[in-house]
Amino acid sequence: MPSQALTDAYEALLSRAPAPLFGRARQLYLNKYCLDGRNTQSPLRLFVVQEALDETVEADQEAGPLGRIVTLQSSTTELALVHWQRDEHPGQSLLETYLQQSWQLESSLIAPAEESWFRNGGFQLRITLQQPLIWVRSSRYQDIENQPVHEKPTKS
């Protein structure tokens, strides 16, 4: 299970992200903003590499025949650890301290990446989580598109 700090950071990041409908904007947001928060000064920063999205729609029994509940779930198992604006590996000591103190993660799940982070943001390592980070949001709505249309009588 990911640490509470990591789960909370994922929740905060995705709560401000553009809706999945705007795929390109959402991906740019995830590449630009890290899990550490917008005001971090840390030389190491943790980013979401890719998210898997799953949307389901089901009947809302409390809202009548046209009521629906849509649920969106985002999950990720891969994170990028970036040595911010540096081209070199951050060093094992700094890496282990950051991961343990900030996120309660072990450095054994890390592999180097072949290229620097988005727009030359810095040297990156990839972290594969044993269990995914998950964010879920549900919304209720009325399905008015499937409502029968009543025709107006025509005059003869």
Spell out the residues 6+ positions from residue 2 whose beta carbon is closer than 8 angstroms to its own. 10, 129, 131, 132, 133
For residue 151, being part of any structural domain is answered with: no
pLDDT digits (tens, 9 = 90+) for 78-133: 999 999 999 999 999 999 999 999 999 987 789 999 999 999 899 999 999 999 99
For residue 37, being part of any structural domain is answered with: yes
pLDDT digits (tens, 9 = 90+) for 22-60: 999 999 999 999 999 999 999 999 999 999 999 999 988
Name the nearest CA neighbour of 72 among 91, 92, 54: 54
* Residue range of the domain that includes 29: 4-143
Helices (H), 3-91: 4-16, 23-32
Total number of domains constituting the chain: 1
